[in-house]
Amino acid sequence: MSGVSGNGMKEVFIDKVVINMGVGESGERLKKAAKLLEELTGQKPATTFAEKTIKNFGIRKGEAIGVKVTLRGSKAEKFLKDALTVLENRLNRRQVNAGEFSFGIHEHIDLPGVNYDPDVGIFGMDVCVSLRRRGYRVKRRRISKSKIGKNHLITKDETIDFLKNIGVEVV
């Protein structure tokens, strides 16, 4: 997946995959979602909390309403490959941005190797993928933080090319 010039610094690869399950309520259903996400990813999920009160939905500020997991490296690639098979390796152009793409899975039982368990129920999830190049650490490090040059940023076309290289069709 090297760039046109063969420059290793231009190579685009997966930085992280974030899987989010917004349950919308705390309690037993949230615990089931956390357990399911841990089984699917092999990592302990973090709880997400409501930022504001919404009376119509019965949500209070600070209430636990979802779970999320961040995957990196080989775990991220494996999960992404399985998740994209649910969508038949096809994404809409609107789901792709510069250096990132996102999609939703309506039912977790669509993932390969996952069977329906009536005790757990059915959950949907959002999958957000961030891409990066070598040298992006400069932007995030603590000491001597700096900006990334404009020609080193990943464009939407480069993101689409990356998806085509891993076998995903962008319509």
Domain boundaries, the chain: 8-170
How confident is the model at residue 59, as a pLDDT? 83
Q: What is the pLDDT of residues 3-61, one digit of tens each?
A: 456 788 888 999 999 999 988 888 888 899 999 889 888 899 999 998 998 888 888 89
Reply yes or no on whether the pLDDT at 2 is more than 90.
no
From the candidate CATH numbers 3.30.1440.10, 3.30.70.1290, 3.40.50.10470, 1.10.10.10, the one assigned to the domain spanning 8-170: 3.30.1440.10
- How much is the mean pLDDT over the chain? 88
Reply yes or no on whether the pLDDT at 82 is more than 70.
yes
Sequence-distant (≥ 6) Cβ neighbours of residue 39 within 8 angstroms: none
Q: What is the pLDDT of residues 99-126, one digit of tens each?
A: 999 999 898 888 888 888 888 888 889 9
How confident is the model at residue 132, as a pLDDT? 93
Reply yes or no on whether the pLDDT at 127 is more than 90.
yes
pTM: 0.86
**73 touches 16 (CB < 8 A):** no
